[in-house]
Amino acid sequence: MKQLSILLFMLGMNAAANAQQKTTIHLWPQAVPGESASKHAAVQTPDTSNNIVRLTDVTDPILEVFPAPAGKNNGKAVIINPGGGYSILAINHEGYDVAAWLNQLGYNAFVLQYRVPKKEAGALQDAQRAIRIVRSRAAEWKINPDKIGMLGFSAGGSLAARASTLYNTQTYSPVDKLDSASARPDFAVLIYPAYLDNGPNNTLTPELKVDAQTPPTFLFGTADDYFGNSVLVMAAALRKAKVNVEQHLYPSGGHGYGLRANNVAGKTWPALLEKWLISLGY
């Protein structure tokens, strides 16, 4: 019975995502900065284990837009960064399923296909550009331009952390008037983030410039996750900078569980995050 309930939940999430009037925004209208390969659609890998659709070879980064359902729009937005080690994007598991869940809560969701594989500099450019696009065009989706957050899983959590600490770093030359908008997310959500402890002796990754202007941040991970220390060092840096931070480290759950209700961590973080967002007015 429990397995049937989980299956029905996931089918409902997928149906909700598919029912939405999804639109696609190409981040870069002309040349993609720093990209030598020609633009083409992302390539799906043959690996569909654990019912995960994996995309790679992203040369034309896009935002897939899932507006909040009519009558439920709370005027807020979340840009979602799927994980995948900066090599692939777990696009359904950590993208579309999460968009459907956020839509049910009234949030406008944007799934970001950032550049992979192994294009970390390009991924940050994509994240900054995505935030600027959503902020500049907020009125189209009836979004408050001061209530736009970024949520990431694993490497996507790393990207969200980079976007929330490097928003004043000019990573590309402006391409149009949309780039006059701020690239700072108003809040950041890091779910089992990776690569945040690449400093000496597993300290904070030097690239991350945490200060008092870093946006409020929610972190969730597990002690048995190989990347679990990323949660700890990032939370410590945020606390030291007196940034509003909420940290949860559960004893078990591993890595890559997404929203899966058959995992104690996967069924726990969504309710905690929802409560945190409401408490901050996001």
For the chain, give the mean pLDDT. Answer: 93
Is residue 45 assigned to a domain? no
Burial class (CB in 10 A: 0-12, 13-18, 19+), 173: exposed
Long-range CB contact pairs, 6-15, < 8 A, 24+: 6/260, 6/261, 6/262, 9/261, 10/97, 10/260, 10/261, 13/97, 13/100, 13/101, 13/259, 14/92, 14/96, 14/97, 14/100
pLDDT for 122: 98
Report how far residue 229's alpha carbon sits from residue 234's, in angstroms, rounded to the nearest whole number.
9
Report how far residue 187's alpha carbon sits from residue 133's, in angstroms, rounded to the nearest whole number.
16
Dump pLDDT digits (tens) for 237-267: 999 999 999 999 999 999 999 999 899 999 9
Is residue 262 assigned to a domain? yes
- Residue 10 pLDDT > 80, yes or no? no
pLDDT for 11: 45
Count of CA atoms in the C-beta half-sphere (13 A) of 229: 11
Percentage above 90 pLDDT, the chain = 91
Tell me which of 36 and 196 has the higher pLDDT: 196
pLDDT for 222: 98
Q: Could you tell me the pTM of the whole model?
A: 0.93
Choice among 9-18, 54-63, 223-232, 236-245 with the minimum mean pLDDT: 9-18
pLDDT for 265: 97
Name residue, tokens 């040349």: 31
pLDDT for 92: 97
Element (H, E) at 112: strand 108-113
How many domains does the structure of the chain reveal?
Answer: 1
pLDDT for 17: 45
Report how far residue 45's alpha carbon sits from residue 118's, in angstroms, rounded to the nearest whole number.
15
Is residue 82 assigned to a domain? yes
Angle at CA of residue 84, ends 79 and 86, nearest 5° = 85
Is residue 51 assigned to a domain? no
Is residue 212 assigned to a domain? yes
pLDDT for 22: 73
Report how far residue 174's alpha carbon sits from residue 232's, in angstroms, rounded to the nearest whole number.
35
The CATH number for 168's domain is 3.40.50.1820
Dump pLDDT digits (tens) for 268-277: 999 999 999 9
Is residue 42 assigned to a domain? no
Residue 140: domain span: 2-34+57-280
CB contact at 8 A, 75 and 142: yes
Dump pLDDT digits (tens) for 99-136: 999 999 999 999 999 999 999 999 999 999 999 999 99
Report how far residue 113's alpha carbon sits from residue 251's, in angstroms, rounded to the nearest whole number.
31
- Residue 15 pLDDT > 50, yes or no? no
Is residue 52 assigned to a domain? no
Dump pLDDT digits (tens) for 176-198: 999 999 999 999 999 999 999 99
pLDDT for 21: 59
Is residue 47 assigned to a domain? no
Percentage above 70 pLDDT, the chain = 93
